[in-house]
Amino acid sequence: MSMLNTLRRMEPLDENEKIVILDLEGFIDTSTTSLLREAFENLVQNKFYKIIVNFEKISYLSSTGIGVFVEFIGTIKENLGDIIIIKSPDKIKKVITMAGIEKIIKIFPTEQMAKDALIAEKKTLKEKKSTLDKAIKFPFKKECPFCKEISWIPQSDILRCPKCEQIFYITKQGDITPLKKSDKEQEAINQYKFNLKIPSNINYLNYVRLFLTGLLREEKIGEEITNDIELAVDEALSNIVEHAYNFEKHHIIDLSFYIVPDSCFVITIKDKGKSLDTLLLKLKSGLMDNTIPIHQERGRGFYIINKTMDKIDYQTVANFGNELTMVKHFPKN
């Protein structure tokens, strides 16, 4: 059985049109997004633009998976279609919300509600077709509607104002949909208890998630906190494998975990690959640069880390390597 199974089925939307239901099973991370992208590419090539994606059997979703949805939503909407997610588990829905795409891709609890939404949108989408044909030429300057800062907009995507840190989505017509603001960082204790070494291979990331699940359950950490920690660690490791080591599998990544009872969880990740300073500086400055295709640029992953963890610190030491420390505080009883 594959780590991600995709099953496509056709359903009638109305008397004139059919839709595609994409049933997914497994987990969506760096190692499986190629399967999801292949499924969407096949649908677009065959001119299926009204798509309902069933998340009922999805156990994990990372920013690379979210990136696939963002990658295809523009083309699908330009062709009077839409992507709607249904039956999403709460922990998956939380990731979607943190990534700021819930206003771009709708989520419904049932298949019928998704169908009703597609029917209701059908007339509206036709009316908007002439507007879609008048897309703005990127890059262009746009005033932030919140702080009035004028910035260059590289392309239609999810971006953050470099001044006020307001997250927003820029359409191909230059319209702004506000999303989320980032959380403030907090202080942390930098101590260690557990150590783990893994190769720089994306196929090992699922094993790290399983290890974290067992460790945090043993320490009686709540499910919501556990999910946040697993997600942040996975995003960080994915970026190291992809950007620091360029998917070379023979390098070693060191992980150190420490749980401060009734206080916080700390993880330090060390590697000797290419520094990720540029990406983290963009995160800290509030600017997500998504000019590179979404499946190559991981700015959205760092934003998710910023939302799930309470403290992020990154440093590079000459002749030593890179060190990323992340902290998650536990709620007070």
Please write the tens of the pLDDT for every residue from 111-153. Answer: 999 988 888 877 665 565 555 455 567 777 888 877 888 877 7
Largest separation between any pair of C-alpha atoms in the chain = 67
Give the torsion sign (CA, 92, 33, 84, 1): negative
Q: Count Cβ atoms below 10 Å from residue 269 Cβ, excluding itself.
A: 21
First to last CA, the chain: 42
Strands (E), the chain: 4-12, 18-28, 50-61, 82-86, 106-108, 140-143, 150-153, 158-160, 166-170, 176-181, 194-199, 252-260, 264-271, 311-317, 321-329
Architecture of domain 194-329: 2-Layer Sandwich (3.30)
Please list the alpha-helical segments (H only) found in 12-104.
33-45, 63-78, 90-98
pTM value is: 0.63
The domain defined by 4-132 carries CATH number 3.30.750.24: yes
Domain parsing of the chain, residue ranges:
4-132, 140-181, 194-329
The answer to which of 162-166, 199-203, 205-209, 323-327 has the lowest mean pLDDT is 162-166
Question: By C-alpha distance, which of 180, 210, 187 is closest to 329?
Answer: 187
For the stretch 273-310, pLDDT in tens is 888 765 555 555 544 444 333 333 345 777 788 888 88
CB neighbour burial string for 45-60, b if at least 16 within 10 angstroms, e if fewer: eeebbbbbbbbeebeb
How many CB atoms lie under 10 A from the CB of residue 257? Answer: 19
